[in-house]
Amino acid sequence: MNVGKYVFAQIVQFLPKRYFERLVIKHKDRTAGMAPSYWSHMLVIMYGQLIGCHSHREFTDVTMAHVERSYHLGFGKTPINKSVLSKANSLRDAEIFEKFAFYIVSIAQAKRITKEFELHGRFYAIDSTTIDLCMSVFSWAKFRSTKSGIKIHTQIDIATEIPVFYRISNANVHETKSMD
């Protein structure tokens, strides 16, 4: 049912904003009063992820094209262009966003548990994937003479089907080494 809000704004209503604001206050960051706010900063990045943008330039171009809708999407009154976003990304600590993401995952895990498949204790599946990178740009990620890349090791809770832990390493790290 349409209540006069954009779908993204309706989705954002489910996020615990007060918890996020408490994280920002507890962190005591020097950029807390800077525009955009931490909340707007996170929402713009989430929006870019949801619409499938591949770069900052791409999703800031999208947000600037719809600048008259930015307030109603939850981004705030100040338009977020590429320079503002890159400055915020470089100055702000990602730890607040990381803690909030883990909190959201814990909420999702608690709500997802069903009794269809009953096992006693916690069971996890471990998976990894390799992402190939350009050798000339990412020389620090070299794992063969002609290739570079990273590997993402993920631990998934079987009951909730939600990732619990992930680790990014060089592509030459074997899965058995990351489990330790």
Separation of alpha carbons 148 and 135, rounded Å? 5
What span, in angstroms and rounded, lies between the C-alpha atoms of 177 and 153?
Answer: 10
Asked whether residue 1 is domain-assigned, the answer is no
**How many domains does one find in the chain?**
2
pLDDT at residue number 119: 58
Do 121 and 77 belong to one domain?
no
Element (H, E) at 62: helix 56-65
Q: What is the pLDDT of residue 70?
A: 75
Largest CA distance in the chain: 57
List, as one string, the DSSP characters of 87-148. Answer: HHHHHS-THHHHHHHHHHHHHHHHHH--SSS--SS--EEEEEEEEEE-TTT-GGGB-SSS-E
Q: Measure the CA–CA gap between 151 and 28, rounded to whole angstroms.
A: 33
- Partners of 97 in the beta sheet? none
Q: Is 128 within the bounds of a domain? A: yes
- Residue 169 domain flag: yes
pLDDT of amino acid 115: 61
Q: Which domain holds residue 84?
A: 7-100
Residues 168 and 127 in one domain: yes
**pTM score:** 0.61
- How many whole angstroms separate alpha carbon 166 and alpha carbon 178? 10
User: Which of 44, 42, 45 shows the shortest CA–CA distance to 79?
Assistant: 44
From first to last of the 180 residues of the chain, give the pLDDT tens digit: 456 777 888 888 888 989 998 988 888 777 766 778 888 888 888 888 888 888 878 877 877 777 777 777 777 777 777 888 888 888 888 888 889 988 988 888 777 666 665 656 677 888 888 888 888 887 788 888 788 888 988 888 877 788 888 888 888 888 777 766
Residue 40 belongs to a domain: yes
